[in-house]
Amino acid sequence: MRRDALTKNNNYINYKNKNGWNSLLPVRQDTKELMHDKTPDVAIIGAGYTGIGAAKRWHEIAPNDEIAIIDASTIGEGNPGRNSGFLLEISLANDATSKDMERMSKCNKLISETMTRIIDSVAHSDIDCQIYRTGTYRAAAGKVGIKALKKYQNFLEKSELEHEYLNKNKLKERIGTDFYQVGLFSPHCYLAQPAALIRALAQNLPDEIHLYENTPALEIKKDHSYWQIETPNASIKTKKVIIANNAFCGQLGIGKSYVSTIYTYIGLTEVLDQNSQDMLGAENNWGILPTHRLGCTLRKTPDNRLMIRSLYDYGTEGNNTLIAEKLLHSLRLRFPGLKDVKFESVWGGTTGFTYNGGPLWGEINSNMYISSGCNGGGIVKGTLFGGLLADLANNHSVPDINKLFGMASWMPPEPFRKIGFKLISMIERIRAKDET
């Protein structure tokens, strides 16, 4: 009865729209739910980049341990498949600073080693996740964006990382838009089809890793020296647990004071006709990251679609019809020639937001480990942090993550937090209006 009530209140997987990337792929047949009680050596909550990264590393360290990963959604349809598909092999722009180069080069090294592991891992899968080292553009349309771009260029220069400066005309030549004043191109980025990517990473797991989909953790309680996890049909009793459900950790009563749930949205067009494709510059497969948090991410996919990601909502998902209109408006500002372009799909996804951008990472309770607060950039970082949690839980030495990547700072409770978020977003939106 109690379990029924918990199940009824569970809203972890109720995204309003289907994930457009996943809809382009064949339907997966082989999903398995948890139907019987289990006592694995470790339970992992969330089968995203963090959870899968943790499970694989745990298996390397302790190959005979039984590992259970549960996910509220299905692989591909859920949050890890809903993103823009940028995999940076160096630190993200938000983390990058030219002031502390020794720390930055350690971060860059950890990130690029993880990227290599991801490439290795997908190479063993028969799923084509369209992963290519395309590099990435960063482009700015107004003053605020240009200032942020200069700061990032400074970081790239001090780090002696290859990059190219591009003026408006060069950008237009390459990617067909004169919306931006200036840009940078950095080769240190892969682009992938995110739903295919997470499917590939979760494919061919060793026998000791049991993946249960459509199996939300509804509650976690301490029972003597065990953690007891309730799911809709069965419970899991385990000595060690890894919390890898990112934006939703607070719903389990964990990390509430540090992580908030933020929704952001993607519109993916139909396959463009030849006329439209001809307007899009010389390159076929490209991506642009915004220079300001509230700017738009853009992509042209290898199958000739445009993708745009933008807009944020705090705590609950917004109205997807209004969002689609706003996204289309931003896309047309960038490509006024594409008058008739339409979205094939529009959908939302979540990110775990922390006030200062630092992750919530480490042993949060006895034998309970967490990595949460991806702040919108967690494909590679999540994989890294998940793997390192497995090291930590098995008493292997780990780099000082909090020193290197920061530590999530405390946030005030509701309603102050929501008011603060809305206020800051409003100010930032005005400051960065040229980028949106």
Ligand X SMILES: Cc1cc2nc3c(=O)[nH]c(=O)nc-3n(C[C@H](O)[C@H](O)[C@H](O)COP(=O)(O)OP(=O)(O)OC[C@H]3O[C@@H](n4cnc5c(N)ncnc54)[C@H](O)[C@@H]3O)c2cc1C
Binding site for ligand X (CB under 6 A): 12-13, 45-51, 70-73, 78-80, 82-86, 216-217, 244-248, 252, 264, 266, 309, 349-351, 374, 376-379, 382
DSSP for 167-184 reads EHHHHHHHHS----SEEE
**Number of neighbours of residue 1 by Cβ within 10 angstroms:** 5
b/e sequence 254-284, b meaning 16+ C-beta within 10 Å: bbeebbbbbbbbbbbbeebeeebeeebbeee
Q: At its nearest, how many Å lie between ligand X and the CB of residue 47?
A: 6
Q: At its nearest, how many Å lie between ligand X and the CB of residue 220?
A: 9
Q: How far is CA 49 from the centre of its chain?
A: 8
Q: How far apart, in Å, are the Cα atoms of 412 and each of 249, 258, 267, 307, 415?
A: 17, 9, 33, 35, 8
As a whole number of Å, the end-to-end CA separation of the chain is 48
- DSSP structural state of residue 381: H
Nearer to ligand X, 12 or 185 (CB): 12
Q: At its nearest, how many Å lie between ligand X and the CB of residue 169?
A: 27
Q: At its nearest, how many Å lie between ligand X and the CB of residue 277?
A: 23
Q: At its nearest, how many Å lie between ligand X and the CB of residue 273?
A: 26
DSSP for 285-321 reads SEEEEESSTTS-EEEE-TTS-EEEEEEEEESS---HH
Q: Are strands 260-269 and 286-290 parallel, antiparallel or unpaired?
A: unpaired
Q: At its nearest, how many Å lie between ligand X and the CB of residue 70?
A: 5
Nearer to ligand X, 276 or 310 (CB): 310
Q: At its nearest, how many Å lie between ligand X and the CB of residue 374?
A: 3
The answer for residues whose C-beta is within 8 angstroms of residue 332's C-beta and 6 or more apart is 338, 339, 341
Q: Is the Cβ–Cβ distance between 108 and 189 less than 8 Å?
A: no
Q: At its nearest, how many Å lie between ligand X and the CB of residue 200?
A: 15
Q: Is the Cβ–Cβ distance between 248 and 71 less than 8 Å?
A: no
Nearer to ligand X, 265 or 276 (CB): 265
**Strand boundaries in 71-124, DSSP class E:** 86-88
Dist CA 40 CA 301 (whole Å): 41
Nearer to ligand X, 12 or 152 (CB): 12
Q: At its nearest, how many Å lie between ligand X and the CB of residue 312?
A: 10
Q: Are strands 182-186 and 164-167 parallel, antiparallel or unpaired?
A: antiparallel
- Which one-letter amino acid corresponds to residue 196? A
